[in-house]
Amino acid sequence: MGNRRFGSVAGIAAIVAVTNVQAASLTAGIEDNFALPSEPATPSAAMLTALQGFAEFAGVSDFDLNGGINNGQSNVQVAHTFTGLPGGIISATLTLSLRAGTDTFAISDGIALSFIQPGQTDYLANIAYSRLFGADGAGSILFDANDPGLLTSGQWVPGSQAMFTLNLAALPLAGGGTLNLLPMLNSFGFLDVNISDDTAVDFMRLEVTPVPLPAAILPMVSGVLLLGFKRRRSAC
């Protein structure tokens, strides 16, 4: 009898956990318009190991720091890994607040998204998505010279500042069309973000929405919870 009661309570707890699944908002850095003191960016150990073998890697920068503006360095990555994502994600957006430093090579800066796992030491081979911020014409080892850039027009030049919001279910590709990263988010449960390499990041925000409990089940959930409550009272 005791075991059956315990099983009912455990089942109710599981249902409550399911019904409490909500959208998650994960922020790295502080939304403070690049104010100091800076906040550390935190790439996963696997991402950092892969970046250290990357030819253009010269270190990881904190959030807020800008080369030539507030004691930041040029030619460094703002690399961060969002971890602990829920399963069953059906929508996700990544928002970035960015400002180019004073280095003229900021024109060739952009974003790279990845899902680096332990043992994957070739960073370039494991990039899932990359885009320039603005039209460049020269490109780099990370970014295609023919990429017109995420900006609707113009180049990403020293001093440029913008807020980008990317739909991870429909990331715009340089050659047209879109890429859906939701299957990879659900498969791996984390996301690597790399801003390279003369651009400061005020903050990054990843917002994900998991699949909700079907509406048809909600009345059943209420009934089970009520029944469990009545049984506990009668047992007392």
Name the band, by pLDDT with cuts 50, 70 and 90, for residue 26: very high
pLDDT band at 8 (very low <50, low <70, confident <90, very high): very low
| DSSP class per residue in 118-131 | TT---TGGGEEEEE
Whether the per-residue pLDDT at 231 is higher than 50: the answer is yes
Q: Tokens for 135, please give them.
A: 């039209």
| Selection from 160, 190, 176, 173 nearest residue 96 by Cα | 160
Local confidence band at 217 (pLDDT 50, 70, 90 cut-offs): low
Q: Are 183 and 129 in contact (CB under 8 A)?
A: no
pLDDT the model gives residue 220:
54
| pLDDT tens figures, 187-214 | 999 999 999 989 999 999 999 999 986 6
CATH fold of 23-211 reads Jelly Rolls (2.60.120)
Query: What is the pTM (predicted TM-score) of this model?
Result: 0.81
Of 19-23, 26-30, 131-135, 158-162, highest mean pLDDT: 26-30
Highest-scoring range by mean pLDDT, 20-24, 75-79, 154-158, 204-208? 204-208
Q: Which of 11-25, 31-45, 81-95, 184-198 has the lowest mean pLDDT?
A: 11-25
- Greater confidence (136 vs 174) lies with 174
Q: Which residue has the higher pLDDT, 70 or 34?
A: 34
Q: What is the mean pLDDT of the chain?
A: 84
SS (H, E, C) 166-187: EECCCEECCCCCEECCHHHHHH
Residue identified by tokens 């007392």 is 236
One DSSP character per residue, 74-102 reads SS-BEEEEE--PPSSEEEEEEEEEEEE-S
pLDDT tens for each residue of 84-137: 999 999 999 999 999 999 988 889 999 999 999 999 999 999 999 999 999 886
What percentage of the chain carries pLDDT values higher than 70?
78
DSSP string, 134-170: S--SS--SSS-TT---SSSSS---TT-EEEEEEETTS
| Bridge-based pairing state of the strands 161-167 and 78-82 | unpaired
